[in-house]
Structure 1
């Protein structure tokens, strides 16, 4: 696990300045506190920050082949590197280290682009082949590891693990991407391949980018892996097969030469990972598995459930109580992520990362289980509404139910059974538009009302739900659950969940691994029929049945708890401070927002009749981001619509 940077001059045989590379690596030093390394030659320069995990003595980077014609800077872990090494050595390749990094170099020599199909792990890397004049940028199948890139004004291609690496360059353009601002307000994150900066992009998951010496044009990324878009028949004993596959994935991801532990919440996913990891740790005779929990006092405290799992599996368990000042945290998140990020569970995630880092350098997590095995409540609602939608003529849905949805009051504080507005709205729309409504954090009308007149004009015609609709349209139209999961796998998972886990873990120099996102397990789980995952209206049914021999029944079948404290109460008791932030200099100077609309939202939330907690959090994070970047070199242009 590391941080990587690079500069590529495609048409000029210029040796990149090491000072610029050092500035880039310095901006992401938290990703690799164990050392740095640099390589520069005509056309190309690489930089690397290392967090030592495997082959502590021999895995320094950038790494070259023995003849120094192929150079690599790599972030991540290749879990099947030992098997690939045996295959490569049988083909005549000679290794100098024990590191998985070297396997990528030899694999490129042996298989070319076919290397990507063979790698099993999480990765983002840049590989330069001098003889061929080719620079390969590649990212893992699910988007666990990030890679950002941009063309600078002089034609140089800059890339790095985080936006901060590119922003360390004075000539990096600093202008907001208006559509990305709209997407952030709608979804709570900026979906790939965009970033908040107009001139910076993210390499999408499961894609690679080929840059060639002598070619000035920046090509489009190309896909090398695709998750399933149709379902297949489930095996006779799907739960047993799932248990076998998950157990293998967990064991593969325990590869480490440094202390390893696991996150343990009160949920099914992390408990499932811990159950298999604890068994593997016992068999390895390396002592009990270390587990880590952060609990928030109240009904959502996960510590008692986590303690029960830890006792059952004999882990060395550590738990702490968490409290958070979310107004302060909003600015910390903006700094930590390098762009606005609207998932407030990043705050407790950072807390558990800090706890884990005191005792381990690597931690396993349960991330991915909800997306792969249909754990989100919105999946169940989408399938139910889609079933109802099929019985209603389009005209009835649009006119009768649509009018009823518009007339129905929005009762944020009412009992759940009275809050029917969103369900009626989803039912009145077509399938993809309805699903977008369930994932949108700030609805289209409210979002538009928050914007200034100029920004409403700049975003006129931009639909944040269009990408979701297009992705759902790629799937079998008779499989609404798969369509929703497929869309999330391309948007919410890499844009929210995996950005959150990467930034929070790397902020404290912790490597976080999610075995649920083993790509073979993902492909298998996604293709399972809906009734296997949602039978009886219970999400993750197949996973719960698979883990029945290993976990307490009250955990498996109890109510799902979110990993975050309530933020609504803080924003009510500190409404005046929220108002000052959101109507202050940074927000107003940006020209993005309507001051009166912002103040009105704060007042509505403070009254207790409306729940705008999520929207206020996103706006506070954006305020923090704008405050931090107001003095950038191109500030006079950066805060204008792109």
Structure 2
């Protein structure tokens, strides 16, 4: 695992400012504290920070082919590299290392742009082919590893694992993208390919970008997608056996390392399945770690201990205080753009704990997306059945009216909170799902945003992100459609972003067996009834794990990895949230309605409404402005650039 960065003159061969390149590389020191190197040639500069995992002795980067005409910087792991090396050697390529990185340069020589189709793993890399005068960048299929890039006005292309490396160049404008602001307040993150900065982009998952010097910057090209065919006629018994086999293979590949290795163990089904599988493949005890909370409403450590005891793992637990909120500014600096998933706090802590004992940790991420585990999936399927019972011409006006007239009742038991259900019934499937996952829903964003910001948005709605992906999903199966949407949005923008930044902040590599693309492809062939059956999510995974895990772990209510925001904002963070939300920094943007901000704070702190999620979203946006934008965003007149945009 590493950090990569660099710059490329798309128009010619101007000298690379080595001090600037070094600064960009040093900005990501945390991603690779073991070694750091740069490579410079006319019009090209590559930087690399190394966290040594495989081929510690000879796997340094930037890495070259035999004659030095192809050079690569690479972040991630190619898990099938041991299969690729002999194939490439048989084709005449000479290897000077035993690293997976060298497979990339020789794979490029052998297969060209299609080399990525041969790689199985998590990766983001950039290579320069001097003979072809071509820069090529790629990102793995499910977006586990990040890749950012920006084309400056002078034709310089910047790239890096994190936005902070681009910002360290000094030439990237820190003007905020209003459309990204809309996406952030809807989703809690800025969705690919946008970033919070107008001039920068994220390379989408499963995409490559091939740039030839002297030619215009092309659009990224997609090389893979998941297709939910759902037609596999397998039985439950055969599917369980096949899943066990595929999970063993995926875990085995991710256990290849020359450094201490372990796993996160939350006590949930996904991480427990990974640990149980690791135990069956390990000669010695598996290293596991868990975070416990001193608030029993959020504490799953007892279930993690059940699994640890069963497999006699070398288990370590640390208790996080329920008032562990001193990371707000740290997280803002870490993520480089606004990010509103509050579980980033315990994720940061569990990575901190793991790094004390291991350099690589396996996780259970993507279990919910791939196996149908989210509670919102079951609620969506229930609404879909209701929507399917009435034609849209009847359903939309009737339930639309009921949704407008029925009082909102957050305080009531869920069965009496009919307003949201009525509103959902009036929408299309995609509209309803987007509405259900939005932090600030459409009506709230309309009240929050000022007329000036609305003019900048020009009618843009973050729902467009979902509509774009839904149009390409290739399925109208209710569960498969929203699984596809989550694989393209929430998994990438929220889960993978959270884990990558939190783990690399501690120089920890996290590997994800449930995101193996071959496993994902196979699961997409299975009927949805093997994923959600009645009110049971993750049906197949739980059945497959019954011989390996206790029922107390498999069939208990899902808790999640959350923190007590509502209590914080009425207690220890009461003044801080009021000062941030109603303070000068948000006001200076000119983008928010003061009266609505006041309502959110007052109603929450009075206990009449639970606005903890919107308030956290605002709190993290304000922290981003102070810690990232204000680090270099003050113009000649001393006013923030977002305010200049409104002038």
The TM-score by the shorter chain falls in which range? over 0.9
- Residue 221 of structure 2 corresponds to 222
Cα offset, 1:92, TM superposition: 2.1
Cα offset, 1:399, TM superposition: 1.7
Q: Among residues 368, 385, 399, which one is paired with 2:397 in the alignment?
A: 399
SS at match of 2:49: strand
* Deviations, residues 526-579 of structure 1 (Å, cap 9, x unaligned): 232111111122111000001010000111111011112221101011323211
Cα offset, 1:420, TM superposition: 2.2
SS at match of 2:526: coil
- 5 Å matches for 1:104-503? 104-215=104-215, 217-236=216-235, 237-282=238-283, 287-297=284-294, 298-323=296-321, 325=323, 328-503=326-501
In the aligned structure 1, how far is the partner of 2:124 from the partner of 2:250? Answer: 20
Q: Among residues 505, 510, 513, which one is paired with 2:511 in the alignment?
A: 513
Cα offset, 1:477, TM superposition: 4.9
In the aligned structure 2, how far is the partner of 1:634 from the partner of 1:471? Answer: 37
- 5 Å matches for 1:18-33? 18-33=18-33
In the aligned structure 1, how far is the partner of 2:583 from the partner of 2:496? Answer: 32
In the aligned structure 2, how far is the partner of 1:633 from the partner of 1:433? Answer: 36
Does the CA-based 8 Å contact 2:228-2:475 persist in structure 1?
A: no
* Deviations, residues 599-629 of structure 1 (Å, cap 9, x unaligned): 2101111111211111111100000011122
- Residue 611 of structure 2 corresponds to 612
In the aligned structure 1, how far is the partner of 2:562 from the partner of 2:593? Answer: 30
* Deviations, residues 3-32 of structure 1 (Å, cap 9, x unaligned): 000110022212311111111011111000
Distance 1:171 1:475, change over 3 A: closer
SS at match of 1:486: helix
Does the CA-based 8 Å contact 2:293-2:322 persist in structure 1?
A: no
Deviates more, 1:155-164 or 1:449-458: 449-458
In the aligned structure 2, how far is the partner of 1:602 from the partner of 1:460? Answer: 28
Distance 1:631 1:27, change over 3 A: closer
- Residue 36 of structure 1 corresponds to 36
- Residue 593 of structure 2 corresponds to 594
- 5 Å matches for 1:578-589? 578-589=577-588
Does the CA-based 8 Å contact 2:633-2:640 persist in structure 1?
A: no
Does the CA-based 8 Å contact 1:367-1:497 persist in structure 2?
A: yes
Does the CA-based 8 Å contact 1:326-1:567 persist in structure 2?
A: no
- Residue 558 of structure 1 corresponds to 556
SS at match of 2:407: coil
Deviates more, 1:193-202 or 1:327-336: 327-336
Distance 1:621 1:38, change over 3 A: same
In the aligned structure 2, how far is the partner of 1:234 from the partner of 1:101? Answer: 39
Are 2:47 and 1:47 equivalent residues in the alignment? Answer: yes
* Deviations, residues 15-73 of structure 1 (Å, cap 9, x unaligned): 31111111101111100000101111112110000000001110100001121000000
SS at match of 1:535: coil
Does the CA-based 8 Å contact 2:121-2:140 persist in structure 1?
A: yes
SS at match of 1:108: helix
Are 2:641 and 1:638 equivalent residues in the alignment? Answer: yes
Does the CA-based 8 Å contact 1:326-1:570 persist in structure 2?
A: no
TM norm structure 1: 0.97
In the aligned structure 2, how far is the partner of 1:410 from the partner of 1:41? Answer: 63
* Deviations, residues 431-462 of structure 1 (Å, cap 9, x unaligned): 11111111111111111211222112222411
- Residue 531 of structure 2 corresponds to 533
In the aligned structure 2, how far is the partner of 1:478 from the partner of 1:192? Answer: 23
Does the CA-based 8 Å contact 1:239-1:546 persist in structure 2?
A: yes
In the aligned structure 1, how far is the partner of 2:229 from the partner of 2:433? Answer: 19
Cα offset, 1:344, TM superposition: 0.5
In the aligned structure 1, how far is the partner of 2:59 from the partner of 2:378? Answer: 46
Aligned-residue RMSD, C-alpha:
1.4
Cα offset, 1:308, TM superposition: 0.5
In the aligned structure 2, how far is the partner of 1:575 from the partner of 1:377? Answer: 30
TM norm structure 2: 0.96
State how many pairs are aligned.
637
In the aligned structure 2, how far is the partner of 1:554 from the partner of 1:45? Answer: 54
Does the CA-based 8 Å contact 1:450-1:593 persist in structure 2?
A: yes
In the aligned structure 2, how far is the partner of 1:537 from the partner of 1:452? Answer: 42
